[in-house]
Amino acid sequence: MSNNIDNLLHEDRRFPPSAEFTAQAVGQASLYADSKKDRLGFWDKQAKELLHWHKPYTRVLDWSDAPVAKWFDDGELNVAYNCLDRHVLEGRGDRVAIYGEGEPGDQRVYTYSELTAEVKRVANVFLSLGVTAGDRIAIYMPMIPEAVITMLASARIGAVHTVVFGGFSADSLRSRIDDAEAKLVVTADGGWRKGKVFPLKPTVDAALEANGGGSTVDHVLVVKRGENDVAWTEGRDIWWDDAQAGVDAEHVAQGFPAEHPLFILYTSGTTGKPKGILHTTGGYLTQAAFTHKNIFDLHADTDVYWCTADVGWITGHSYVVYGPLANGATQVVYEGTPDAPHPGRWWEIIEKYKVSILYTAPTAIRSFMKLGREIPAKFDLSSIRVLGSVGEPINPEAWIWYHDIIGGGKAPIVDTWWQTETGAIMIAALPGVTTLKPGSAQVPIPGVVIDIVDDQGIPQDKNSGGLLVISEPWPSMLRGIWGDPARFQETYWEKFGDKYFAGDGARYDRDGDIWLLGRVDDVMNVSGHRLSTAEIESALVGNQIVAEAAVVGAADETTGQAVVAFVILKKSHIDDQTPEEASAILRKHVAEQIGAIARPSKVYIVEELPKTRSGKIMRRLLQDVAEGREIGDTTTLADTGVVSIISAQVH
Ligand code: WT7
pLDDT in tens, 35-83: 999 999 999 999 999 999 999 999 999 999 999 999 999 999 999 999 9
Q: Quote the ligand 1 centre to 185 CA distance (angstroms).
A: 28
Q: Quote the ligand 1 centre to 528 CA distance (angstroms).
A: 7
pLDDT in tens, 507-547: 999 999 999 998 998 899 999 888 989 889 989 999 999 99
Number of helices (H), then strands (E), in the chain: 23, 30
Q: How far is CA 416 from the centre of its chain?
A: 12
- Strands 184-188, 136-140: parallel, antiparallel or unpaired by DSSP? parallel
Q: Is the dihedral of CA 332, 336, 337, 342 positive or negative?
A: negative
Instruction: Answer whether 416 contacts ligand 1 (Cβ < 6 A).
Output: yes
Instruction: Answer whether 268 contacts ligand 1 (Cβ < 6 A).
Output: no
β-partners of residue 99 are: 109, 332
β-partners of residue 362 are: none
What is the pLDDT confidence band of residue 3, given thresholds at 50, 70 and 90?
very low
Element (H, E) at 644: helix 641-650
Q: Strand (E) positions, 391-427?
A: 413-416
Among the atoms of ligand 1, which is closest to the Cα of residue 503? 26
Among the atoms of ligand 1, which is closest to the Cα of residue 418? 3
Q: Are 522 and 530 in contact (CB under 8 A)?
A: no
Q: Quote the ligand 1 centre to 516 CA distance (angstroms).
A: 9
From atom 6 of ligand 1, which residue's Cα is the shortest distance away?
391
Instruction: Answer whether 417 contacts ligand 1 (Cβ < 6 A).
Output: yes
Share of the chain above pLDDT 70, in %: 98
What is the pLDDT confidence band of residue 443, given thresholds at 50, 70 and 90?
very high
β-partners of residue 531 are: 524
Q: Are 612 and 606 in contact (CB under 8 A)?
A: no
Element (H, E) at 140: strand 136-140
Report the alpha-carbon distance of residue 301 to residue 173 in Å, rounded: 39
Average pLDDT score over residue span 448-463: 96
Instruction: Answer whether 467 contacts ligand 1 (Cβ < 6 A).
Output: no
Instruction: Write the CA distances from 521 to 5, 335, 573, integer angstroms.
Output: 18, 33, 33
Provide the pLDDT for residue 630: 76
From atom 1 of ligand 1, which residue's Cα is the shortest distance away?
419
Q: Is the pLDDT of residue 634 over 60?
A: yes
Question: What is the DSSP track for 509-576?
Answer: -TTS-EEEEEESSSEEEETTEEEEHHHHHHHHHTSTTEEEEEEEEEEETTTEEEEEEEEEEPGGGGGG
Q: Quote the ligand 1 centre to 561 CA distance (angstroms).
A: 13
Instruction: Answer whether 440 contacts ligand 1 (Cβ < 6 A).
Output: no
Q: Quote the ligand 1 centre to 41 CA distance (angstroms).
A: 28
Instruction: Answer whether 505 contacts ligand 1 (Cβ < 6 A).
Output: no
Report the alpha-carbon distance of residue 54 to residue 77 in Å, rounded: 5
User: pTM score > 0.75 for this model?
Assistant: yes
pLDDT in tens, 187-234: 999 999 999 999 999 999 999 999 888 999 999 999 999 999 999 999
Amino acid (1-letter code) at residue 524: M
β-partners of residue 431 are: none
